[in-house]
Chains A and B, each alone.
Chain A
Amino acid sequence: MQNAPEETALSDVPVETLPVSLPALTRPDEDSRIAAEVKAFVRDGNLAAARDHFAALVVRQQRRASRIAYHFLRDAADADEAVQDAFVKVFSHIESFREDLPFEVWFTRILINGCLDRQKARRRRARWMIPSLDVEQGERSRTESVPSHGPSPEELLLLRERRTQIASAVGKLPERQRTIFLLCHYQGCSSKEVSTITGLNESTVRVHLFRAVRKLRSLLGGNL
């Protein structure tokens, strides 16, 4: 368990299905209830009502999804697209959603697989193509997005530097450690939830989390 193989990418796991072994919910949460309604409307052919209900689901999950995608991709436009794709994919596969399972976990899995695919595509582009102006523009728009009111320019500069350092350190983590760290720490997911999302068992999730924290502490030192 300690030496879990790193080479299998999370995105190799089928996207639309969840492990059969996932424990059933004793009481469905609100998101799962809405998702079940959307599924029922789609099954009845009432797509307009399904979309209306789905809009409520989007409102509830959108901020969380955007945070996750942004932390994975570190690019606002890319994260935007990843979130959009994930919601569209969820709607088009809603019939494979199991009502007795948490919607959030299913959705997060789809979102993360999309983010990992985008990262892979980005690495391929970086290997074979000359960096375009868009990347620089994206970088600039991200730094400009920090509001001008509030902290002083010096404080802003320091904050930006710190964030860049942290992002770079998180980016240096192996894929599994990074995924687990972002979900457990940034999103506050339990190791059971992360286990379901990633398909790894709970103790492996914890091992990867501790390794990630240890590595970040060594990379960032006093800046953590």
Chain B
Amino acid sequence: MKMDRFHPADDRLIALYFGDGEANAEERRAVRQHLHGCETCTWRYTELTAPLERLRQDAASEADEVFTPSRLDAQRARILDTLAETAHASRVIPFPAGTTRLDRSVVRRPIARWVAAAAAAGLLVGVMAGRLLDTGTGPSVSPAPVVRSTKATIAAPTLISDSPMPTLTGERDEAMLSEIDQAVYSQRIAALSALDQLTPHIRQETVLARAIR
């Protein structure tokens, strides 16, 4: 009713052209009714939508000129070949039984290598910690001069001598770990740590051999 008096805007005419679905169906019906009785708007509608329609048809024919029937045949053949190849490959991979697991282990080898490297690094730190512990507890092992010189207050001699298997206090623990951190992560050692990780250590090997025994 309103539409009869007011000419619809361009957007509404374009909406009518693209119109689909239930949304705004009532509005589209009103615009359509208006167009039946208004020559000016019918002309405007054609002016607006004819180029769009031409654009659509041209786009389709442009693509069809490129994708000729022979090209589509070739494309289809390639698709089906790929599918056949994929099916072939999937039949071969699981044979013989149990290969899958082996394959996975091969694929994961680089990760395993990293895990081994991390374990070796951990072991190194552990061994160093062990060494430092030994220096504090055992009179038979000569104490490491660096540790002694930097932190004179690390170990109370009475405490150590009182018990053959001393339990470290939280304070001493912290101090010792910071010493280890300092030792391991100091610039000089960090630069060599990669090389160190690759090198078998006599002490490390001995500890392992003892553990196995």
Does B75 lie at the interface of the complex (its beta carbon under 8 Å from any beta carbon of A)? yes
Instruction: State A47–B15 Cα separation when bound (angstroms).
Output: 46
Contact residue among A70, A163, A202 (Cβ-Cβ distance under 8 Å from B58) = A163
Instruction: State A58–B167 Cα separation when bound (angstroms).
Output: 76
Does A184 lie at the interface of the complex (its beta carbon under 8 Å from any beta carbon of B)? yes
The interface residues of chain A lying within 8 Å CB-to-CB of B82 are 84, 88
Instruction: State A108–B206 Cα separation when bound (angstroms).
Output: 66
Q: Are B67 and A84 in contact (CB under 8 A)?
A: no
Binds B, one of A14-22, A29-37, A61-69, A99-107: A61-69
Q: Closest CB of chain B to A113's CB: distance in Å?
A: 18
Instruction: State A166–B66 Cα separation when bound (angstroms).
Output: 17
Does B191 lie at the interface of the complex (its beta carbon under 8 Å from any beta carbon of A)? no
Does A80 lie at the interface of the complex (its beta carbon under 8 Å from any beta carbon of B)? yes
Residues of A with Cβ closer than 8 Å to B? Answer: 47, 51, 54-55, 58-59, 62-63, 66-67, 70-71, 76, 79-80, 83-84, 87-88, 91-92, 142, 145-147, 162-163, 166, 184-186, 188, 190-192, 202-203, 206, 209-210, 213-214, 224
Q: Are A66 and B67 in contact (CB under 8 A)?
A: yes
Q: Summarize B's interface: helix, strand, loop or mixed.
A: helix
Q: Are A80 and B59 in contact (CB under 8 A)?
A: no
Q: Are B21 and A202 in contact (CB under 8 A)?
A: yes
Q: Closest CB of chain A to B57's CB: distance in Å?
A: 10
Residues of B with Cβ closer than 8 Å to A? Answer: 11, 14-15, 18, 20-21, 23, 51-52, 55-56, 58-60, 62-67, 71-72, 75-76, 78-80, 82-84, 86-87
Q: Are B21 and A190 in contact (CB under 8 A)?
A: yes
Q: Closest CB of chain A to B62's CB: distance in Å?
A: 6
Contact residue among A47, A66, A186, A188 (Cβ-Cβ distance under 8 Å from B75) = A66
Q: Contacts A70-B66, A88-B82, A191-B21 given; indicate if A186 touches B52 (C-beta within 8 A).
A: no
Instruction: State A51–B85 Cα separation when bound (angstroms).
Output: 12
The interface residues of chain B lying within 8 Å CB-to-CB of A59 are 76
Q: Are B80 and A51 in contact (CB under 8 A)?
A: yes
Q: Residue of A at shortest CB range from B76?
A: A58
Instruction: State A210–B52 Cα separation when bound (angstroms).
Output: 12
The interface residues of chain B lying within 8 Å CB-to-CB of A58 are 76, 79-80
The interface residues of chain A lying within 8 Å CB-to-CB of B64 are 63, 67
The interface residues of chain A lying within 8 Å CB-to-CB of B71 are 76, 80
Instruction: State A210–B62 Cα separation when bound (angstroms).
Output: 24
Q: Contacts A54-B83, A213-B14 given; indicate if A66 touches B55 (C-beta within 8 A).
A: no
Q: Closest CB of chain B to A94's CB: distance in Å?
A: 11
Instruction: State A206–B23 Cα separation when bound (angstroms).
Output: 10
Q: Closest CB of chain A to B195's CB: distance in Å?
A: 36
Beyond the given pairs A91-B83, A191-B23, 14 more chain A to chain B contacts, judged by CB atoms under 8 angstroms and listed by A's residue number, are: A55-B80, A63-B64, A63-B67, A67-B60, A76-B67, A84-B75, A87-B79, A88-B83, A88-B86, A145-B66, A147-B65, A192-B21, A202-B23, A213-B52
Instruction: State A82–B84 Cα separation when bound (angstroms).
Output: 18
Q: Are A146 and B83 in contact (CB under 8 A)?
A: no
Q: Closest CB of chain A to B93's CB: distance in Å?
A: 14
Q: Residue of B at shortest CB range from A182?
A: B59
Q: Are B65 and A186 in contact (CB under 8 A)?
A: no
The interface residues of chain B lying within 8 Å CB-to-CB of A84 are 75, 78-79, 82
Q: Closest CB of chain B to A191's CB: distance in Å?
A: 6
Q: Residue of B at shortest CB range from A188?
A: B56
Q: List 21 A-B contacts (CB under 8 A).
A: A51-B84, A55-B80, A59-B76, A63-B64, A66-B67, A67-B60, A70-B62, A76-B67, A80-B71, A83-B75, A88-B79, A88-B86, A91-B83, A146-B65, A147-B65, A163-B62, A166-B55, A185-B52, A192-B21, A202-B21, A206-B23
The interface residues of chain A lying within 8 Å CB-to-CB of B84 are 51
Contact residue among B14, B23, B51, B59 (Cβ-Cβ distance under 8 Å from A71) = B59
Q: Residue of B at shortest CB range from A142?
A: B66
Q: Residue of A at shortest CB range from B80?
A: A55
The interface residues of chain B lying within 8 Å CB-to-CB of A63 are 64, 67, 72
Q: Are A190 and B20 in contact (CB under 8 A)?
A: yes
8 tightest A-B CB contacts, nearest first: A67-B63, A66-B67, A224-B51, A190-B20, A70-B63, A87-B79, A76-B66, A47-B87
